[in-house]
């Protein structure tokens, strides 16, 4: 695991913005508190399906980086194997997402870790900044 991701998850844990474990994560998603979810690559097929379906249904970004449940647990300060982690605060989620994207802090589409179904954003009048001369 990269040190930036480990730092971001540790910060999220200290801030109280992390829920660990499959059922806790799903509960956080259903209560609309979760901003993004990280799923360990070695999680069971059933766990992956349940968390992915829940994220897709509620529009929460899901990432499955090349990280084991042991490393994910270590990143949040636990000796236990942790298959899923939810981040609940927006600003911390942006930091974690930036670490997951390898330093590219551009957000991805909800529910898709690869951003393949990117949402289109509508511009409203007056939202553009005036050009400098």
CATH number assigned to the domain with residue range 3-100, chosen from the 4 options 3.50.30.30, 3.40.190.10, 2.60.40.10, 3.30.1330.30: 3.30.1330.30
Q: What residue segments make up the domains of the chain, in order of their start?
A: 3-100
Predicted confidence at residue 107, as pLDDT, reads: 46
Predicted confidence at residue 1, as pLDDT, reads: 57
Sign of CA dihedral 95, 101, 106, 111: negative
Strand order in the sheet with 36-39: 18-20, 84-87, 36-39, 61-63
Q: Mean pLDDT in each 10-residue stretch from start to end of the chain (133 residues)?
A: 81 88 92 91 92 93 90 87 91 86 55 46 47 52
């Amino acid at each position: 695991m990269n040190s930036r991701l480990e730092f971001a998850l540790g910060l999220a844990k200290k801030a109280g913005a992390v829920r660990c474990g499959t059922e806790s994560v799903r509960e956080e998603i259903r209560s609309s508190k979760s901003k993004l979810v990280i799923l360990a690559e070695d999680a069971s097929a059933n766990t992956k399906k349940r968390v992915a379906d829940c994220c897709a249904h509620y529009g929460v970004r899901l990432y499955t980086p090349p990280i084991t449940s042991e490393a994910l647990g270590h990143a949040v300060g636990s000796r236990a194997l942790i298959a899923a982690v939810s981040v609940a605060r927006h600003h911390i989620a942006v930091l974690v997402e930036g670490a997951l994207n390898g330093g590219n802090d551009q957000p991805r589409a909800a529910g898709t870790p690869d951003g393949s179904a990117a949402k289109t954003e509508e511009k409203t009048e007056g939202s553009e900044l005036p050009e400098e001369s």
